[in-house]
Structure 1
Amino acid sequence: MVTLTHYLALSALLFGIGAVGFLIQRNALIVFMCVELMLNAAALAFVAASRYRGLLEGQMAVFFVLTVAAAEVAVGLALMVAIFRTRQTTNVDELRSLKG
């Protein structure tokens, strides 16, 4: 039987993978994917906890997490396309200064 501990362990593992990827990657698109992975790990923890307690507050929080994730993807990718058109790179180290 799968318990709450299993779900929370999986959520912690996914969050850890996302955090490590966020810290060591230099490609901005992969950094965005790692942020998405961390948001999904938090959503998994919310859903598991709400299912365990029998309440809907966790599932409502997931709705807001997914809304923020969708907005982050839309704005982030639009910024990356605009920056790539001017700089011809998605390397985060080369994007530290946004001056022309």
Structure 2
Amino acid sequence: MLIERYIYLAIALFCIGIVGVLARRNAIIIFMCIELMLNAVNLLLVAFSKMHYAVGVAKNATAGIDGQLFVFFIMVVAAAEVSVGLAIIVMMYRNTHSVDVNFLNRLKH
């Protein structure tokens, strides 16, 4: 498959994620859209790693896994971000009985 198709798919996923973050008020949907944006970046990293390995003349056995290593670390950081974010959402729900991010102004006082 051509690299342009991966790029177009990643751009579409990232744009959907941006629209979801900017347009939605539900905190859980916002976190899902952030994860969608991270997965778009992961797709690009793997695609560029594959392209770099196909173009290069690397003869060693570990060539082409750089993108996959970055994706692994991004997924680990994303899992930690989701666990902390969901804990914050649960505490917000306990205080306001809603997951609407506009209610966060009430937590100031």
Q: TM-score, normalised by structure 2?
A: 0.86
Shift of 1:99: 2.4
Shift of 1:56: 1.9
SS at match of 1:10: helix
Most deviating of 53-62 and 3-12? 53-62
Distance 1:17 1:65 in 2: 19
Mapping for residues 29-68 of structure 1, pairs under 5 Å:
29-54=28-53, 55-68=64-77
Q: Deviations over 1:11-55 (max 9, x none)?
A: 010000000100000000000000000000000000000011112
Give the aligned length: 99
Q: 1:87 corresponds to which letter in structure 2? A: T
From 59, 76, 81, the counterpart of 2:85: 76
5+ long unaligned stretches in structure 2: 54-63
* Structure number with bigger Rg: 2
Distance 1:98 1:38 in 2: 28
Q: CA RMSD in A?
A: 1.1
Percent identity reads 47
Q: 1:90 corresponds to which letter in structure 2? A: V
1:8 matched to which residue of 2?
Answer: 7
Distance 1:62 1:97 in 2: 37
Most deviating of 90-99 and 56-65? 90-99
1:94 aligns with 2:93: no
SS at match of 2:32: helix
Q: TM-score, normalised by structure 1?
A: 0.93
Shift of 1:97: 4.7
